[in-house]
Structure 1
Amino acid sequence: MRTRTPAIRARAAEVLDRLPQDADWVQDFCMPYTVHVIADLLGVPDTDHDTITRWDTLLTSLATGAELTAETVTAYLDFTQEFTEYFRDRAAHLADHPDGSLLSHLIQEGDNLTDHERIQFLLILFPAGSTTTVILLTHIAMRLAAQPDVIAELRADPAARPDFIEECLVERSPSANVFRTTTRDVVLQNTPIPAGAHLLLLVAAANQDIPDRSAHLAFGHGVHRCLGAQLARTEARAALDELLARYGHIALRADPSSLPVRPHLLIPAYERLPIRLERPS
């Protein structure tokens, strides 16, 4: 991930430089930034990024509770065909012209993956790698707006920025809840739970009770630990660094309680976050 950090930071700078003073942090920064990073990771040419953004918007909508209608089903079927054809063509190109992208690595090293499995992996990667990071970046902006003194502290002490990001992860886990199935009988706080029980684990609540906050569960744990955790941290740090390099104050232009939240059991998220960005005096 260290080798990709300069490119990720350059993407953050590029999107931030396009922002007006009054912007929608979610729509104008978080979504295009995270989509660009995922597209870069897969080696997608810049000329195709608008297509990737359109796909990501559709996937995010379906994954977070879009109404299931004949139109949405048709849109999804059309998308999957277009998506599959695009990445099969990209895979064929990369098979003969490998590069440093994740897709190239999957082709060159993922001998055990079938073509279908590779496409299914990519279908999961887009919303998983974009939506959850958008949630983290949104909370970072809300924290900075709610605590103006923190901006000055972080601008003065870059070494404090990783801990700030971890605090934000604890306060607002990108995945609020997860489903799990027990593999054996267990007793938890005097409550018997049989093997094979289907559980909804409240990650966001659990993080508030962990004595050692460095051991938080925002990215899961053990075999269920998120493979993209380091990428999310790198994206957050790059965005924070570039944001602090440009601005000395962030203000919300709306009461958060009045803003629409996309309903979802696992990954509820703000659909927009109107902010004002002010240069340091």
Structure 2
Amino acid sequence: MSIPSARSAIATWATRLYFSRLRKRGGSFDLSVLSKLPDAALLPLRRDGLDPVAEIGALRDREPVSRLPIPGLTVWLVSGYDEAKHVLGDARAFSNDFAHLVNHTSVTENHQPGGLGFCDPPDHTRLRRLLTPEFTMRRLGRLAPRIQAITADRLSELAKAADNDGRVDLVEHFALPVPALVICELLGVPYEERDAFQEFSVARFDVLGGVGASFGAISRSRSYLHGLVEQQRHDPGDGLLGMLVREHGDSVTDDELTGLADGVLTGGLETTASMLALGTLIMLQDREHFSAMRDADDPAAVAAPFVDELLRHLTVVQTAFPRFARENTEIGGARISAGDIVIVSLSAADRDPRLGPAMDTFDPARPPASSHLAFGHGLHRCIGAELGKMELRAAFPELVARFPEMRLAVRPDELEFRKLSVVYGVDSLPVLLG
């Protein structure tokens, strides 16, 4: 079997396994934690189709920093753009160290995920400095041909997977495999083991699975990745892990490499898959956007502002990692005490009317008034942001060019959006290819 066909077969197998497991989880949800929370405490994770629920917009406009009613804890919700940017950008006053959460819950240190998102300087500074060279545009440029090839291959597989009527699930056969294969390419992960990464990525972001299930997925993913790191120690490959081993040796520990790899995978797989699915949905619901991409003389020029506005409008990562106040401080008129937990609603902040008119609408021609927060802000801004943009800018033009008559195979109100998930998305997107 050739390498492209082998990758295609593995991609199909892995995504089928992913969806079979996702369906099986329907009868085993652990709602014990959620049942104890008031409905208002889940507000940052609720949506109405593609939009944050109206209640969080009203709360943001009325009280951009407000208390979340969570029994036994003091938790603040930051939903205003300026206030969110302040919290995300102030690493001195607000900590990301996961150990704080251990102090607040029954979670043990064995479940600690590690990685850039859960540590503070100076550890964060040192670890990010290791990764930064691998995510410069010059280094990422070497992935561009592979991204194009992966996209083209998956479009062919999408066509093959369609039934006699041209119906196929875009999530299963395109939106999920594209970023999964790109991440594997980046890290140098064996393709036959990619199903594990997909399972861990989804499980850790699905709040309906329960806190125990989420941290169990984190623990399992770290165990697997630790074995992969050990393998790279003995035989460094050409991927990111192998390069880090060759360039930094024992100055970076196996645990640190495991955390970095875990962060890259979970940060780049489910998020990009959701963006591809929901971005396609926006184009199919408004044919003007679809036609603009399809008929453009320079599709790349159309794709760039389209993707940027899509990132802002959807903000699929609904909340940032929890912050923990190091000291007494005041944000947006609210007095936050040392030790309080702060949750930033990225999706609400990116719709803040203070940024411009009609921020609840999708408008690729919108002049960029300021930076959106879809990738976060400050020293914890997603290090793979440019890679994600590269994938989206490559995928959308190729998708509409290959299937210019694509349309939804179901009514929009029949789609099942993910509920109470940090990474918002749709589990299936049935389309007719033409």
Asked if Structure 1 and Structure 2 have the same fold, meaning a TM-score greater than 0.5 normalized by the shorter chain, the answer is yes
Name the SS for the 1:248 alignment partner.
coil
Residue in 2 aligned with 1:92?
Answer: 234
Paired residue type of 2:169: D
> Shift of residue 104 of structure 1?
1.9
Describe the SS at the equivalent of 1:238.
helix
Is the Cα contact below 8 Å between 2:206 and 2:420 reproduced in 1?
yes
Distance 2:415 2:336 in 1: 39
181, 186, 194: which one aligns with 2:337: 194
Deviations 1:143-201 (A, max 9, x none): 11011122221231421211000111111112111222334444333322234421111
Q: Does 1:53 align with 2:191?
A: no
- TM-aligned CA deviation for residue 248 of structure 1: 1.4
Partner of 1:168: 310
1:69 to partner: Cα distance: 11
Structure 2 letter corresponding to 1:63: F
User: Is 2:412 aligned against 1:269?
Assistant: no
Task: Report deviation, 1:215.
Answer: 0.8
Which residue of structure 2 lines up, in the alignment, with residue 226 of structure 1?
382
Q: Report the Cα distance in structure 2 between the residues aligned to 1:180 and 1:77, rounded to whole angstroms.
A: 21
The aligned runs of 1:14-29 (5 Å cut-off) are 14-19=153-158, 20=162, 21-29=166-174
Distance 1:141 1:147 in 2: 10
AA aligned opposite 2:192: D
Structure 1 residue runs without a partner (length 5+): none
Contact conserved, 1:173 with 1:218, CA < 8 A, in 2? yes
* Cα 1:176/1:117, change in 2 over 3 Å: same
Return closer, same or farther for 1:277/1:110 CA change in 2, 3 Å cut-off: farther
- In the aligned structure 1, how far is the partner of 2:230 from the partner of 2:175? 28
- Report the CA distance shift for 1:195/1:68 in structure 2 as closer, same or farther (over 3 A): closer
Structure 2: where are the runs of 5+ without partners? Answer: 1-139, 357-367
1:254 aligned counterpart, secondary structure: coil
- Shift in Å, 1:238: 1.2
> Does the residue aligned with 1:261 lie in a helix, a strand or coil?
coil
**AA matched with 1:131:** E
Cα gap change, 1:102 to 1:142, in 2 (>3 Å)? same
**8 Å Cα contact 1:145/1:249 also seen in 2:** no
Retained in 1: the 8 A contact 2:205–2:421?
Answer: no
Question: What's the counterpart of residue 349 of structure 2?
Answer: 206
Work out which of the residue numbers 256, 276, 287 in structure 2 matches 1:117.
256
2:230 corresponds to which letter in structure 1? R
Matches of 2:142 and 2:270, distance apart in 1: 23
Kept in 2, the 8 Å contact 1:26–1:138? The answer is yes
Structure 2: which amino acid aligns with 1:133? Answer: T
TM-score scaled to structure 1, two decimals? 0.85
Matches of 1:240 and 1:272, distance apart in 2 = 18
Q: Aligned equivalents of 1:131 and 1:74: distance in 2? A: 18
- What is the total number of aligned residue pairs between the two structures? 271
- The question of whether the paired residues in 2 share the 8 Å contact of 1:177 and 1:202 is answered with yes
In structure 1, the partner of 2:14 is: none
For the 8 Å contact 1:175–1:267, the answer to whether it is kept is yes
Aligned 8 A contact 1:148 1:250 in 2:
no
* 2:225–2:261 Cα contact (<8 Å) kept: no
How far the C-alpha of 1:6 sits from its partner, in A, is 1.3
8 Å contact kept, 1:177–1:265: no
Using the TM superposition, give the Cα deviation of residue 38 of structure 1 relative to its aligned residue in structure 2, in angstroms.
0.4
Q: After the TM superposition, which residues 118-157 of structure 1 pair with which residues of structure 2 at under 5 Å, given as runs?
A: 118-155=257-294, 156=296, 157=298
**Aligned-pair CA distance for 1:76:** 7.7
Q: 1-side partners of 2:392 and 2:149: how far apart? A: 13
3-state SS of 2:423 partner:
coil
Cα distance change, pair 113–15 in 1 and its aligned pair in 2 (3 A): same
Query: Aligned ranges for residues 29-108 of structure 1 at < 5 Å?
Result: 29-44=174-189, 48-65=190-207, 67=209, 81-94=223-236, 99=238, 101-108=239-246
Is the contact between residue 409 and residue 432 of structure 2 (CA under 8 Å) also seen in structure 1? Answer: yes
**Aligned residue identity for 1:28:** H
Alignment partner for residue 251 of structure 1, among 399, 403, 407? 407
- The corresponding residue for 1:7 is 146
Distance 2:214 2:386 in 1: 33
Q: In the aligned structure 2, how far is the partner of 1:127 from the partner of 1:262? A: 17
Give the whole-Å Cα distance in 1 for the aligned partners of 2:204 and 2:217: 10
CA contact (8 A) 1:182 1:197 kept: yes
Distance 2:330 2:204 in 1: 37
Which segment is superposed worse, 18-27 or 66-75?
66-75
Over aligned residues, Cα RMSD in angstroms?
Answer: 2.7
Q: Please say which structure displays the higher CA radius of gyration.
A: 2
